[in-house]
Structure 1
Amino acid sequence: MGGRSCPGAVPLAPIFLNLKIICQEDGPSGKVSQATMTEPAHDRFLPLFLPVQADLRAFIGAAVRDVVTREDIFQEVAMILWKKFDLYDPARPFGAWARGIAIRKILEDRRLQGRLPESCTAETLEALSHGFDADEAEASWKDREKALNHCLEQLPERSSRLIRERYHQNHSIERMAEEESLSLDAIYQILSRLRRQLRECVQRRLGLTFE
């Protein structure tokens, strides 16, 4: 596609332009059609896709040895992710969703083009994907821990102290109520509010909430 773009296409970051998924060739005629996506959906797609694209390439590369074939499949998978982003469930890791689509595309290529070995089965690809799932889970936990520590640092001193006493030092609600000269219900309400604030802060840091 070279440097062509679609008329009226949503502008993309330079790194994403290189993926050649703004437009696609529509059949033998070479007619260029636009991969449509609303502005809000586009704004949500890039922050999710860019961090996982290297792993997605690695996943496809682990299953497909031929350089040209693996790049073709990667470009096709990227286009599918872009077009079907409205079907993505944000409660599910984006990388796992992307690999699921990649698996279907790899198997389709093997069936239609015969460019991949018979040993490249659905079971083999699923097992390979599970290995990536484990790596993502570890990275996700580290990201959450880092985000939580940042959010805790943003709390007022008293709020931070109450969180530490309850969840780090295992102080009882009764002890905290006595030390703060508050009722049990008041302590419960304070802790509930602080948990909600921390949860929302962590979600913002990780980009998990879409408006």
Structure 2
Amino acid sequence: MLNENQQIRFTQLWTDVQPVVSQFVASLIKDQWAVRDVVQNTSLTLLKKFTEYDEMQPFLPWALGIAKFEVLSHRRDSARDRLVCNPEFLEQYTKSWAELAPRMTDEITALQACVSELKGRPRKILELQIRDNQTSETIADKLNLSAANVRKILSRTRQSLKDCIVRKLAISGESA
């Protein structure tokens, strides 16, 4: 049983890595409900084994290692699926994900900051396309624009976001 400090520490660590672990699992399992189950099982396993965790080591690779075994367990249990995953591939994939995850997190943070800086029509068009999953034709009708104009604005907005992300990553010492 974990003491209160261990519970707090586990919660802090898990909260930090849970989005990355979820993305990792979702990249390997198509069924969103199965992804939720595997992530939940990963969380429970991590909690049960938290006393074995070495605080001198990064938490993310350890969590991804547990998630990898949960994915393998899920695949074994749903053997009727046609997709078979090579264990060596999964091992290398897990290591690569642990290396890339911090950079992806920095890029997502930069993207969120850049999107929050968008104003006016470009922001509205981007929201309609991404959040509401609308086509340029539908957006054009709503905003009384041509579809070609909407596509041009989206193209410029994407380039602007890309430039903004590169600037923010450069400021923070990362590279895009």
TM range (shorter): 0.5 to 0.7
Gap change, CA 1:70 and 1:137, over 3 Å in 2: closer
Ranges in structure 1 where 5+ consecutive residues have no aligned partner: 1-35, 141-211
Alpha-carbon contact 1:61-1:70 (below 8 Å) kept: yes
Letter matched to residue 79 of structure 1: L
Gap change, CA 1:116 and 1:61, over 3 Å in 2: farther
Does 2:96 match 1:131?
Answer: yes
Does 2:34 match 1:69?
Answer: yes
User: 2:57 corresponds to which residue?
Assistant: 92
User: 1:50 corresponds to which residue?
Assistant: 15
Please, what TM-score do these two structures have when normalized by structure 2? 0.53
User: 2:163 corresponds to which residue?
Assistant: none
Alpha-carbon contact 1:77-1:101 (below 8 Å) kept: yes
Please, what TM-score do these two structures have when normalized by structure 1? 0.45
Gap change, CA 1:120 and 1:56, over 3 Å in 2: same
Alpha-carbon contact 2:64-2:94 (below 8 Å) kept: yes
Deviation at 1:104, TM superposition (A): 0.9
From 86, 92, 108, give the equivalent of 1:121.
86
Matches within 5 A, 1:117-196: 117-136=82-101
Residue 56 of structure 2 aligns to a residue in which SS?
Answer: coil
Deviation at 1:137, TM superposition (A): 6.0
Alpha-carbon contact 2:20-2:101 (below 8 Å) kept: no
Query: Using the alignment, how far apart are the partners of 1:116 and 1:93 within structure 2?
Result: 34
Deviation at 1:84, TM superposition (A): 0.9
Deviation at 1:116, TM superposition (A): 4.9
Deviation at 1:138, TM superposition (A): 5.3
Which whole-Å deviations, capped at 9, do the CAs of 1:134-168 have from their partners, x for residues lacking one? 2246589xxxxxxxxxxxxxxxxxxxxxxxxxxxx
Moved over 6 A (4+): none
Residue 120 of structure 1 aligns to a residue in which SS?
Answer: coil
